[in-house]
Structure 1
Amino acid sequence: MVLSEFAGVSMPDWIDALLRIIFIVALMTIMAFALIYLERKILARFQARVGPTRTGPIGTLQSIADALKLIAKEDVRPITADRWAFELAPYMAFVPVFLVFVPMPFTETWFIRDLNLGLLFVFGVLGLNIVGVVMAAWGSDNKYALLGGVRAAAQAISYEIPMLLIIVAVVMVAAGRLAVDGDASAAGSINAIVGDQTTTPYILLQPLGFFIFIIGMLAELHRPPFDMPIAESEVVGGYFVEYSGMRWGMFFLAEYTALFLLVVLASSLFLGGWNWPFGADVGLGLQIVLTFVKTSVLIVLVIGSRALFPRLRIDQLMSFSWKVLLPFSIIQVIANGIILAYGGPDWVVGLVSFGLLVALSGLVYYIMRRKQGEGTRTVQTTPATPRVITAPEVTPVEAGGD
C-alpha cells in the first residue's frame, strides 16, 4: 500500500491502486521535465556552454515554461491530412508508454501489479507505440513524415528482435536460479528477477545481454546515434513534422517517459534494481535511493551518447542489427540453453557471455577500422609531365611586313 507504508493508513485495494496510478503519472510528468532539463545541462557541458540559466533557479523551471508555451500554441492540422489518424496518433504513442508502469517495480513493494509475465507485458505494450508513429506519419500527408515513419517502423522491428532474444536469455538464467527454490514459473516477473539479484547482479552473468539491451534501447527511443527517423537534416524532424502545440508535446512526453521506464527496466534486469550489491536487507528509503542512483547512471550514459557519437546512416543501422546483434543474441540464447540444460554453474554462464561480448567488441572494432581504411584509401597515379606551350613562329608576311 502507498499510504500504509508511510502513515499506516488502511484502505480498499481499488483506492490504493487509483492512488498509485495518480502518483506514478504525476511522478512521470515531473521526471520527464527533469530529464529534459538534465539533458540540456549535460549537453551544454559537452559543448562548452552553460545551458538554461534564466527561468527559475539555475534554469530549473525552463521545462515548465516550455510546457506552458506548448499549451498556448495553436493546434494546426494540415488540410490534406487524414483527420482521424492525425489526431489519434499522439494518444496511440502516449497511452502504451504509461501502461508499462503496471508491472514496473521501483522498490520491493512499489508497483501497481506484479505480473508473472511482466516482461512479456512490457514489450507487448511498448510495441503498440510504433502504431502511433506510423499513424502520425501516414495521417500527416507529408513525404518527410512518411519517410520518418517508415524508418521508425523498420528500426523498431530490427532492434526489438535482438532485445527480445536477450530477454529470453535473462529469463532462462532466472528460471535456472529460481528453480532451486521451486519457483521457476515466476521467471517472467520483473519483481522476481530483481529479488534474485540479492548477491549477484545479472550484469555479471549476462554482460553481452546488457550491452545489446542498451544498444536496442537507444534504437527504440530514437536516441543518437540511432535518430534517423527524426533527423532534422534528413527528414526535417520526421513523423511529427506537421504537429504543433500539445500534440507535439505528447510525442516528446511519451519519448522521455519511455526513456525513464526502459532505463528502470535495464536497472532491474541487470543491475539488481533496489537491491544492495552485497546482499544486505535494506529498508524502503534506501531502496528508493538505490533505484534512483542506478537509473541516474544509465540516464547520463544515454544522454551522453547524443554528444559522443555521430549519426549512423540508415543502411549502417540496419546492417548492424541484422548482421551483428541478431547473430550474437541467438548465440547467447543457445549457449545459455546448453549450459543450463547440463546443470552448469553460474560462473560458466557469465564467462561465456563475457567471451561473446569480447568477440562482439572485436568485430565492431574490425568493422570500424576497415571502414576507416576504405575512407582514407588513395589512388596512386604517376605525376603528369608538364606541357610546355611555345608560341608559333610568325613570318614577316603574316606580321604584315613587306
Structure 2
Amino acid sequence: MSDFFAPEFVRLVLALVAIMGFVAANGMALLYVERKVAGHVQRRPGPFEVGPHGLLQALADAGKLVGKQLATPRGADALLFWTAPLMAFMPVPLMFIAMPFSENLWGLGTDLGLVLILSFAGFNVLALCLAGWASNNKWSLLGAARAVAQAVAYEIPLLLSVLAVAMLTGSLDLREVAAHQGAWPWQWNVFVQPLAFFIYFVCAVAETNRAPFDLAEAESELTAGVHTEYSGMGNGIIFLAEYANMLVVSCVATVLFLGGAAGPWAPGPWWFLAKMYALVTLIIFMRWTYPRVRFDQLLNLNWRWLMPLALVNLVLTAFCVKLWGGA
C-alpha cells in the first residue's frame, strides 16, 4: 500500500493530471490561433463575435461538439469505429510524460525517453487506419490507405534524423540531449545538424497530417477522409489528438535541436514554451500558406530526396563522431 504513496508514483500521477489539463487548454488555444492565422492570411479578421476578439469561440465549439449526437454509420463496425478516436488520444499523455520542460520539470525520468515517444507516436496511424476501415465509407478507406502509406514513408527519414542527434550526443535520454546544448542559439544542435532539423521538421508535419501533407483528410478529394463519418465528440477527440501531436513533435524538436529549456536571462520553462509555440505557429502558418501536394509528390519527396539526404547526413555524423568524438 505504501508503494501507491511513493514520491515517484505521486509525481507520476500529478504529471498525468497536469498534462491532461495542458493538452486540453492548448487544444482550445491553438484552435483560436489557427483561425486567427487563417483569417489574417486570407485578409479577414477570423472569429470576432464570441467573447473579446472571439476568444470564447473555442469554448462555444466545444459545447456544440458535446451536445451533438454520436451517430454510428450503417454497416460500420461500431466497436472499432469508436475505439479509433480513443486510440488516437490515449498515447498523448504517455508521450508528454518523459518530456523535460526544464531541468527539474518532467514527469518520468528514463534513459530511453526518445524511444518511448517514438514508439507511442505510431499509435496515431493505427487509429487513422481503424477509423477508415471501420467507417464503411470509401472516402474514409482511401484516407486510411493514404495515412498508412504516408506514415510508413516519412517515419524512416524522421527516425534517421533523430538518430543523428542521438549519435552526436551519445544518449537517448531527452534530459541529457538538452543538457548537451548551451544557452545561446549558436550552441544548439540546429546549427550542428541543420539538415537533420530540416528533415525532421518536414517529416513531423507529414506525420501529423498537416497541410500541405494532409492527404489523409483532403477535403477537395476525399470529403474529409478518415473524419468523414465522425460527429460530435468523436470528431472533437480526433482533432484534439491532432493538435496534441503537433505539440509533441514541436516539443521533441525543441529538445533535440533548439536547446530545450536552455536560454539566457529568462527561466527555463518559459524558453521551452516559447520555442515550442514558435514551431507550432510555423506549422499552422504553413497550412494556410502552401497548397496541398499530390499524393505522388508526397511520396516522391520522401523516397527521392528526404531518405537519401537523411542517410547521407547519418553517415557523415557517424564519421565525424568517430573522427572527433561525440558527447
Superposed pair shares fold, TM > 0.5? yes
1:73 is aligned to 68
Report what 1:30 is aligned to: 25
**C-alpha contact (below 8 Å) 1:163/1:216 kept by paired residues:** yes
**Cα distance in 2 between the residues matched to 1:256 and 1:31:** 8
User: In the alignment, what sits opposite 2:218?
Assistant: 231
Could you tell me which amino acid in structure 1 is paired with residue 111 of structure 2? N
Distance 2:215 2:193 in 1: 29
Question: Residue 310 of structure 1 aligns to which amino acid in structure 2?
Answer: P
Letter aligned with residue 287 of structure 2: R
Mapped partners of 1:12, 1:113: distance in 2: 12
Alignment of 1:127-146 (within 5 A): 127-146=122-141
**1:202 corresponds to:** 189
Q: TM-score, normalising length from structure 1?
A: 0.77
Of structures 1 and 2, the one with the larger relative CO (CA 8 A, separation 6+) is 2
> Is 1:193–2:177 an aligned residue pair?
yes
Q: Give distance in 2, aligned partners of 1:168 and 1:19.
A: 31
The residue identity in structure 1 corresponding to 2:27 is A
Following superposition, the deviation at residue 104 of structure 1 comes to 1.0
Q: How does 1:2-401 map to 2 (within 5 A)?
A: 12-175=7-170, 187-199=171-183, 200-276=187-263, 286-343=267-324
| Separation in 2, partners of 1:216, 1:125 | 16
Partner amino acid, structure 1, of 2:153: S
For 1:345 and 1:268, the matched residues in 2 are separated by 18
- Provide the secondary structure at the position in 2 that maps to 1:342: helix
Give structure 1 stretches of 5+ with no counterpart.
1-9, 176-186, 347-402
3-state SS of paired residue (2:96): coil
CA contact (8 A) 2:16 2:93 kept: no
Q: Residues 134, 345 of structure 1: CA spacing in aligned structure 2 closer, same or farther, 3 A cutoff?
A: closer
| Larger radius of gyration between Structure 1 and Structure 2 | 1
Q: Using the alignment, how far apart are the partners of 2:42 and 2:124 within structure 1? A: 32
> What is the CA deviation profile of residues 135-166 of structure 1, one whole-angstrom value per residue up to 9, with x for unaligned ones?
11000010000000000110011101000001
Structure 1 Cα separation of the partners of residues 88 and 58 of structure 2: 21
Q: Cα RMSD between the aligned structures?
A: 1.6
Kept in 2: contact 1:97–1:129 (CA 8 A): no
SS in 2 for 1:188: coil
Q: 1:76 to 1:169 in 2, by over 3 A?
A: same
Kept in 2: contact 1:194–1:275 (CA 8 A): yes
- TM-score (normalised: structure 2): 0.95
- In 2, the alpha carbon distance for the partners of 1:51 and 1:234 equals 25
CA offset digits 1:203-228 (Å, max 9, x no partner)? 01100011001100110111111011
- Quick one: distance in 1 between partners of 2:244 and 2:270? 20
Contact persistence 2:84–2:130 (CA under 8 A): yes
TM-superposed CA distance for 1:96, in Å, is: 1.4
Change (3 A) 1:18 1:345: closer
Q: CA deviation at 1:247?
A: 0.7
**5+ residue gaps, structure 2:** none
**How high is the sequence identity, in percent, across the aligned residues?**
37
Shift of 1:11: 8.1
What secondary structure sits across from 1:308 in the alignment?
A: coil
May I ask how many residue pairs the two structures share in their alignment?
320
CA distance in 1, matches of 2:6, 2:85: 35
Letter in 2 for 1:241: T
Structure 2 counterpart of 1:231, one-letter code: A
- Measured after TM superposition, the shift of residue 109 of structure 1 is 1.3
Give deviations 1:80-109, integer Å, cap 9, x for gaps.
Answer: 001211111111111112220121111111
**Amino acid paired to 1:196:** H
**Counterparts of 1:325 and 1:189, CA distance in 2:** 25
2:74 aligns to what SS in structure 1?
Answer: coil
Give 1:56 deviation, angstroms. 1.3
Q: CA deviation at 1:345?
A: 8.3
How many Å apart are 1:23 and its aligned residue? 1.2
